Structure 1
Amino acid sequence: MVASELVPGEGADVEAAVMATVDTYHHPTSTAPIGMVVDRLGSVRGVRGLRVIDASILPDVPSAATNPTVITVAEHIAESRVEGEIDLVRRR
C-alpha cells in the first residue's frame, strides 16, 4: 500500500518535475503522405518504379505505436502486389 505520493513528492514543484522527466519517442512520420506524395500503394508520383513504404507515407501521426502501424501498411501494400494490383517495373 502506498501511504503518500512517491514522485515528485509531497510539496514538490510538479511543473519542474514534469519538465525534468518528459520525453518524446522521436519517430518522424507523415513527411510524404499518401495522396500528396505517394498513391495508396506507395508509388511516388512522377517517379516511375519508386515506392516508399515506411512511416513517412502515413497521412497523420498515428495515435498507436508507430512500428505496428507501419508493419500493417507494409503488409497491405505487399498483399496488393501478390494479388496483382501492383505492376512491377522490370529492368531491361
Structure 2
Amino acid sequence: MAHASRNSREQLRAHGGLDVYLNLLEDEFWSVTALDSIAVCLAHDNDNRKVEQALLKKDAVQKLVKFFQCCPEQHFVHILEPFLKIITYRF
C-alpha cells in the first residue's frame, strides 16, 4: 500500500501504517517488503516530515537496527537498497 496514491499513504500514516511496517520487520516473510515500504513512505514524505520524525524516534531506530543486525543471510542482499534509501534520505 505504500506504493499507492498519495491519499492512500496519508491514510496509512494517519492510522499507524508506519508502525505496522516497523512491526513487520520482525516477520521473516514480510520483513523485506516492509522495509521497502518504509523507504517508499519516507521518499514520499511531504514537507511536514512526519515519516522522518517517526523514524527518528528511539523505538523505530531500535527496530531498524535490530532488523539489520538479525537479518537472515538469504534476505541480506535484498535489504541493502531500501536501507540505503532510508539512510541517505535528504542528505
User: Please, what TM-score do these two structures have when normalized by structure 1?
Assistant: 0.33
Give the structure, 1 or 2, with the largest relative contact order (CA under 8 Å, sep 6 or more). Answer: 2
Which has a greater percent of helix? Answer: 2
When normalised by structure 2's length, the TM-score is 0.33
